[in-house]
Structure 1
C-alpha cells in the first residue's frame, strides 16, 4: 500500500478548514489503496493576541469589504455544506473573533499522543458548533478532554510556554513557503492543493499524485 504524507495547514478559526478536512475524509474513503500520514500545521487568521473580540459578521464585513448581509449569506452557505458533511456549524454566525495560538499549542501537544486530529475536531466543534471562545483556557481544557486527553495536563501546558516555539516555527515555515490562505494540503513535501476542494476532485488529485510518485 502506498503512503502519502499530507501536511495540512489550517486554523481553528477557519470554517473552510473544517470543511476541507471533512472532504478529505470522504475522498480517502474512495482511495483504499492509499495510506495517509496526516500532520496538522498552524496558521493564524487573527494573529493579534491583544485585539478585542468582535462579533464575526461585522468583523468579516470589514475585513472583506462586503455587507453584513453578504457575509451572512456566505456563512449560511457554509452551514449548508457542513450539514451535508455531518459537521456541526450550528452557531457559525454567533461566534466572535479570537486568537488561536494557544489552541494550536494544544494541537501540537495532542500530536505527541497521536490525538492531533481528535483535538482539532473538538476545537472546530467548540468554535463553529457551540460558539465557544477557543482562546479561553477553560474551553481549551474541555476540548482536550473531549479529544481523550487529560484536561489537567492541558491546563498546566496553557500556564506555560510549552509548544509556543513549535507553533511559531510552524507558522513562519509555511508563511515563508508562500502559504497565505488555508486550508492548504501539501503532499509529500512537493505538491500543493489549495482550498476545500470537493471530495471527488480531491480524490482525483491525490490519485494522480500517487501515480506520479509510484
Structure 2
C-alpha cells in the first residue's frame, strides 16, 4: 500500500478585534493566502485582542468614539475612503455610515471562541465583521449575536443563554492579557508555529510566502 504523500502543516494564531477594519481586510487576505498554498495544512486559531477595552458594555456612540480617537473629521473621512477603496477590491462593501455604536467586543470574542469549538471560528469572524462593517448591526445586542450564531450554524438560543452569563469571560480576558505580554500592540497579528509573527493586513502573496517558509523551517527542525 502506497503511503500518502507528506503534507507540511502550520498553526497560525490570528490576534484580532472585530471592530478593527484592517482585521477584516486581513481576514480576507488570509483566506486568499491559504488558497495559494493548498499543499500545506494551515490550522487557523482566532485569538482575542481589544483595541479599546475601556468601551462600556453598552458600547459607545460611533461618531463620538471616532472623534475621540482621531480628533479631525477630515482625517476620519480620509481613513474611511481609503478603506472603502481597499474593500471594493476584496468584496468588502464597507458601510461606515451605517454604524451607530462601537461595541465592547468581549461578547463577540466569546462567540468566536464557542464557534471555534465547532470548527466555525472563521465563519464567526466573517459573520461578525460583515454584520458590523457592512450592515451596521449592533454587536452589543445579545439578540444580534445570537442571530449571527444562527447564521453560521450554531444554536442561537443556546448562544443567547450563554451570553447572559459570565461563561468564558475570564478566559477571553486572560487571552487579551497574554497578547500584551508577548508584545502584541496592534492587530491583525499572525503568529506562525508559535515562533514567528507578521503584523498588519499584509498582501496575500506575502502571507503565503511567509507561511511556506515557516512551515518548511519547522518541518526541517522536526526531522533533525
Q: Which category describes the TM-score, using the shorter chain as reference length?
A: over 0.9
**1:88 counterpart = 2:67:** no
The Cα shift of 1:140 comes to 0.6
CA distance in 1, matches of 2:186, 2:70: 14
CA distance in 2, matches of 1:192, 1:97: 28
The Cα shift of 1:64 comes to 3.4
Which residue in the other structure is 2:38 paired with? 32
CA distance in 1, matches of 2:50, 2:131: 17
The Cα shift of 1:103 comes to 1.0
CA distance in 2, matches of 1:110, 1:23: 21
Which residue in the other structure is 1:188 paired with? 193
Which residue in the other structure is 2:49 paired with? 43
**1:146-185 → structure 2 map (5 Å cutoff):** 146-185=151-190
Which 4+ stretches in 1 moved above 3 angstroms?
none
The Cα shift of 1:130 comes to 0.7
Is the 1:4–1:34 Cα contact (8 Å) retained in structure 2? yes
Is the 2:187–2:199 Cα contact (8 Å) retained in structure 1? yes
CA distance in 1, matches of 2:184, 2:124: 23
Of 56, 60, 71, which aligns to 1:53?
Answer: 60
**1:126 counterpart = 2:131:** yes
CA distance in 1, matches of 2:65, 2:165: 30
Work out which of the two has the higher radius of gyration on C-alpha atoms and give 1 or 2. 2
Q: Scaled by the length of structure 1, what TM-score is found? A: 0.93
Of 15, 22, 27, which aligns to 2:21?
Answer: 15
**Alignment gaps of 5+ in structure 2:** 1-6, 220-224
CA distance in 2, matches of 1:101, 1:169: 11
Is the 1:2–1:34 Cα contact (8 Å) retained in structure 2? yes
The Cα shift of 1:86 comes to 1.6
User: What SS does the aligned partner of 1:121 have?
Assistant: helix
Of 69, 80, 83, which aligns to 1:63?
Answer: 69
Q: Scaled by the length of structure 2, what TM-score is found? A: 0.89
User: What SS does the aligned partner of 1:200 have?
Assistant: helix
CA distance in 1, matches of 2:112, 2:15: 12
**Alignment gaps of 5+ in structure 1:** none
